[in-house]
Structure 1
Amino acid sequence: MKKFITLIITLTLSFGAAATEGIKLQHASIDITDNESLLRGAHHFVKYCLGCHSIKYMRYKRIAQDLDIDEKKFLKEIAPEGASIYDQMHTAMNAHDSTKWFGTQPPDLSLIARSRGADWLYSYLKGFYLEPKAPLGVNNVVFPDVGMPNVLWQLQGQQESVVKMVEGKQVVEQLILKEPGTLSPKEFNAWVNDLVNFLVYVGEPVQLERQSMGKYVLFFLFMLLTIAYLLKKEYWKDVL
């Protein structure tokens, strides 16, 4: 049984290492206590991502409550037109059309930050570059041959890759901005960081509550351990 568990852990770590081999991920500055950043991220997601991707485990009402914003204001400024505050964040695209257009159904992003990590998401969203031979005309340095268009190209601009040969294979060494977008690189970095920050919050909305409660749980366990130790000494003193 121990050998089996060891094998599973080894394979899991190996897969994770292979997925990002040779790629240095960029660091995302995550702060889920920053409600303004989370609200901007929610707005970015609704405008640029919700057309294809859902967050089916979240309701607009929960986000408005957690981020301390009036529900009517949230519906007016962030939620898509016609949405109810009680709605889940479902995409309007149906599975048939998405499979026809992209070859597969775009995944739900409720847990993407927990499964991939904030740095991976941040690097992925910034990692698109032009590749005319690709079906969608672009590729991604973090996720090669990804079946997703670069929906942020107008904001970021168009990037080109600089490749080098490593053991007979072409490897992307760096990305160069060929055509500027509507945002400067610094502004685009902040824009993407807000979006990733929101997705990290979505992955575990109760994270702050869990962390706050954790210290009380640890204190209770410490007290319980102390009482158990004193009882053990009391019961065993006559035996020893």
Structure 2
Amino acid sequence: MMKNIFLAFALLVPSLAFAAGSTVPLDKANYDLSDKASLQNGAKLFMNYCFGCHSAQYQRYNRVAEDLGIPIKLMEENLIFTGVKPGELMQNAIQEKDAAKWFGAPAPDLTLVARVRGADWVYTYLRSFYVDETRPFGVNNKVFPSVGMPHVLQELQGVPNAVYETRMIDGEDQQIYVGIQSDGSGEMSDDEYDHAVLDLVNFLVYSAEPIQLERKRLGYWVLGFLFIFFIISYLLKKEYWRDVH
């Protein structure tokens, strides 16, 4: 019993610290859910770089394929790595006990991460890893200090280093963090990497609410109906009360 309480407390403290947020300003993620090419590339990046540890267990492969305009055959050949049928949920093969052993805690499901944390947070987080030899995986993160995961996109970005500038503050020279700079060894340029991360964020935003575009489209029709109904109701009210007054 005491062991369980201690374990819960040990997991809760980092969570509370994380919930307090980061002092690093968040960059705007200008995603576009109507951009099918972006969503498709985001799905490819997610399945190739994130799905090894993180699942999207509230999504189904065939739903994603239909929404993103990906032929089922192509989905089966390139994006389903666990040998399941397209109608199955997007669950990875890693066992929670193994993930907890390797990373300190099971990797969280990412279906709703963009809705919980916000697209700007996810976008900035994926672009804020930097070399830190004191960490188990050799990297840290400015948005999520003491992060417990490796920088899985490093082969695309290259080795990222935190950049600081010396500025005079209150009469003293202080090192101020100004951003992340890659060493250029990645497969992508800085702009290409930012665009790839934005595609990944776009997919995660879609994953968190697949019906978002349809919801907004129906919302305009509902507002239009209510507006017309209001006019008819107002005219009817005037006609009904005309003889009374």
TM-score by length of 2: 0.82
What amino acid maps onto 1:110 in structure 2?
Answer: T
* 8 Å CA contact retained: 1:28, 1:119: yes
Partner deviation per Cα, 1:165-219 (whole Å, 9 max, x = no partner): 9899976332232352122212212211111111111111111211221111011
Per the TM alignment, residue 17 of structure 1 is displaced from its structure 2 partner at its CA by 10
Q: Which residue of 2 aligns with 1:193?
A: 198
The answer to whether structure 1 residue 203 and structure 2 residue 204 are counterparts is no
* 8 Å CA contact retained: 1:141, 1:172: no
- The alignment's C-alpha RMSD in Å is 2.6
Per the TM alignment, residue 238 of structure 1 is displaced from its structure 2 partner at its CA by 4.6
For structure 1, list consecutive stretches of 5 or more residues without a partner in the other structure.
1-14
- Matched residue of 2:235: which SS? helix
Q: Which residue of 2 aligns with 1:100?
A: 101
Per the TM alignment, residue 127 of structure 1 is displaced from its structure 2 partner at its CA by 0.7
Partner deviation per Cα, 1:148-175 (whole Å, 9 max, x = no partner): 1111111111122234698999763322
Question: In the TM superposition, what are the counterparts of 1:37-116 in structure 2 within 5 Å?
Answer: 37-80=38-81, 82-116=83-117
Choose 223-232 or 128-137, whichever is displaced more.
223-232
Relative distance call for 1:146 and 1:221 in structure 2 (3 A) is same
* 8 Å CA contact retained: 1:121, 1:196: yes
- Matched residue of 2:29: which SS? coil
* 8 Å CA contact retained: 2:65, 2:71: yes
Q: Which residue of 2 aligns with 1:137?
A: 138
Length, aligned pairs only: 225
What amino acid maps onto 2:154 in structure 1?
Answer: W
Aligned identity (percent) is: 46
Q: Which residue of 2 aligns with 1:231?
A: 236
Relative distance call for 1:234 and 1:118 in structure 2 (3 A) is same
Of residues 183, 189, 196, the one that matches 1:184 is 189
- Matched residue of 1:57: which SS? strand
Relative distance call for 1:149 and 1:206 in structure 2 (3 A) is same
Choose 151-160 or 76-85, whichever is displaced more.
76-85
Q: Which residue of 1 aligns with 2:32?
A: 31
* 8 Å CA contact retained: 1:30, 1:197: yes
* 8 Å CA contact retained: 2:182, 2:190: no
Per the TM alignment, residue 132 of structure 1 is displaced from its structure 2 partner at its CA by 1.0
Q: Which residue of 2 aligns with 1:174?
A: 179
Q: Distance in 1 between matches of 2:78 and 2:153?
A: 20
Per the TM alignment, residue 98 of structure 1 is displaced from its structure 2 partner at its CA by 1.1
What amino acid maps onto 1:59 in structure 2?
Answer: R
Per the TM alignment, residue 16 of structure 1 is displaced from its structure 2 partner at its CA by 10
Q: Which residue of 1 aligns with 2:12?
A: none
Question: In the TM superposition, what are the counterparts of 1:152-163 in structure 2 within 5 Å?
Answer: 152-163=153-164
- Matched residue of 1:139: which SS? strand
Per the TM alignment, residue 113 of structure 1 is displaced from its structure 2 partner at its CA by 1.0
The answer to whether structure 1 residue 215 and structure 2 residue 244 are counterparts is no
* 8 Å CA contact retained: 1:54, 1:91: yes
Choose 221-230 or 168-177, whichever is displaced more.
168-177
Question: In the TM superposition, what are the counterparts of 1:116-127 in structure 2 within 5 Å?
Answer: 116-127=117-128
